[in-house]
Amino acid sequence: MKVRCGVKGIVIKNNRLLTIKKHDDKFEADYTLPGGGQEHGENLVEALRREFLEEIGCLIEVIDHVFICEIIDEHNIGNGIAPDEDYIGIEWIPITSLNEYRFFPNGLINYIIGISNGEIPHGLYIGDIN
């Protein structure tokens, strides 16, 4: 199995979470955080800035790294400037309704709710959340 580092960004505005909405053959849609794989020679901050520019079309300032997790899966998150065929667009999901969506990885939902309530972890390792 090939191992690759990836980055995801948490953007909350007006109690809503910025997500990437993707088509799923079995369900109406899947939702995930913007981000993707780190490229050779990039640090994690550079990778996140590039991914946001490619997927969302905006420049971001990375404020903090809040946690590290592992996702041991072959799920394809995105390809950047040329989005995956299943890419639908972006969607702002109400934080209080996250559990009602097919959000991936769902192991992050409670952490995201905590972050929206001001509980900011710093460098927390949460292991495999898949």
More confident residue, 78 or 85: 85
Q: Is residue 1 domain-resident?
A: no
Three-class DSSP labels, 76-101: CCCCCCCCCCCEEEEEEEEHHHHHHC
Find the mean pLDDT for residues 110-130. Answer: 79
Domain interval for residue 16: 6-128
Q: Domain count for the chain, please give it.
A: 1
pLDDT of residue 69: 59
Q: Is residue 123 domain-resident?
A: yes
Q: What pTM, to 2 d.p., does this model score?
A: 0.77
Q: What is the pLDDT of residues 39-77, one digit of tens each?
A: 889 988 898 889 888 888 888 888 877 766 555 554 453
